[in-house]
Amino acid sequence: MTAYAGAFFLVHRTARSQILGPNSALHVLRSSDGKSFDDVATIPAPDDRDLRDPHFFVVGSELHIEAITRVSCSAALDDDCDTITVDTHSTDGVHWTALANLGPEKWTFWRPKQNGGVFYDAAYDDGDAHVALFSSPDGATWTEGAQIYGADIPSETEIVFMPSGRMLALVRTGLAETALLAVEPPISTRVCWAMPPYDTFDCPQALDGVRLDGPLAFFWNQRLFVVARKHLMGDDLGRKRTALYEIGGDLEGGPITITEKGELPSAGDTAYAGYAMLDQNRAAVGWYSGDLDRDEPWVTAMLDVSDIWVGTIDLSRVP
């Protein structure tokens, strides 16, 4: 979700299931109030490829969507899926250019952020062997930079810029393939730091017991919040939720803390949120979820239907 040109936009994937397959598309929705949305554009996947993980970013007067395409593969991780990050852009949010390759092959870009006139994005390689920082002067041409983290099966990595310019990277880790369901320890999120020009990272800390799948991080009134997937530890069926967390501690190099602030209505296959501020205190948050009453295990919910949810969080009321 994002605010652009006086409106709110939300983008989500549709497909037969979470499983990779050439039957997916992106849908762009527009709203005047952040509550009621109209479907204004459909962006189909390229032939014989899967399309997923869309993220908005703005370059000048253009609204861009960064997403990834892959071929069908059966690997538990992303081995041999021929990942390509792609881009499409628009000047009205309705009419979009054809998908074009954005990054080098075998790299999954996560969420672009701009700082000091430069775009940055953390990307993980096919096989989830390591995460690297990419940068771009224009949002179109990207250059690989420093490795952020290279152990414990790292993947989706959210970057956040501190007031000093220091970069925080929250790295989702698998630790081992047997931990993918996250039904019992160990699960963890790696905490990495870098100072400008971000040519080397130090990763001194792990947030043990919390794995931030699909992390979305944002500041509000000097407080740092994260929306991500929560794993119900001890549940042998691997049930999930989408939760709001707050990052505390030393936000200029760590150590940091993480505190859960509450669950959003969610079950089954869920999370992967976006947000846009409605006013000074209220954030509109979008996420997806399986059926709340059925509360399916994640491993079966991936094959079932899911809904797109939009809710409002009054951040001034979060204790």
What confidence score (pLDDT) does residue 175 get? 79
Q: How far apart are CA 276 and CA 280, in angstroms?
A: 11
What is the average pLDDT across 56-62?
A: 98
Lookup result for tokens 């790696």: 190
Q: What percentage of residues in the chain have a pLDDT greater than 90?
A: 87
pLDDT above 70: percentage of residues in the chain: 98
Please provide the average confidence, as pLDDT, over all residues in the chain: 95
Listed residue (84, 60, 59, 62) closest to 71, CA to CA? 84
User: Coil, strand or helix: which one is 227?
Assistant: strand
DSSP 148-164: EE-SSSEEEEEEEE-TT
230 forms beta bridges with: 241
pLDDT in the model for residue 77: 67
User: How do 100-101 and 107-109 pair as beta strands?
Assistant: unpaired
Band of residue 28 on the pLDDT scale cut at 50, 70, 90: very high
Strands 62-70 and 84-90: antiparallel
Residue with tokens 């530890």: 233
Cβ atoms within 10 Å, residue 33: 10
Q: Is the pLDDT of residue 225 over 70?
A: yes
* Residue 17 banded pLDDT, cuts 50, 70, 90: confident
Lowest-confidence pick of 161-175, 176-190, 203-217, 275-289: 176-190
Q: Is the pLDDT of residue 20 over 90?
A: no
Q: Assess whether pLDDT exceeds 90 at residue 281.
A: yes
Q: Percentages helix, strand, coil for the chain, rounded to the nearest 5?
A: 5, 55, 45
Residues 30 and 39: their CA atoms lie apart, in Å, by: 7
pTM above 0.85, yes or no: yes
Helices (H), the chain: 298-301
Please give the domain boundaries of the chain with CATH numbers for all domains.
2-317 (2.120.10.10)
Q: Is the dihedral of CA 70, 76, 77, 82 positive or negative?
A: negative
Task: Using pLDDT thresholds of 50, 70 and 90, give the confidence band for residue 41.
Answer: very high
Residue 55 clears pLDDT 90, i.e. is over it: yes
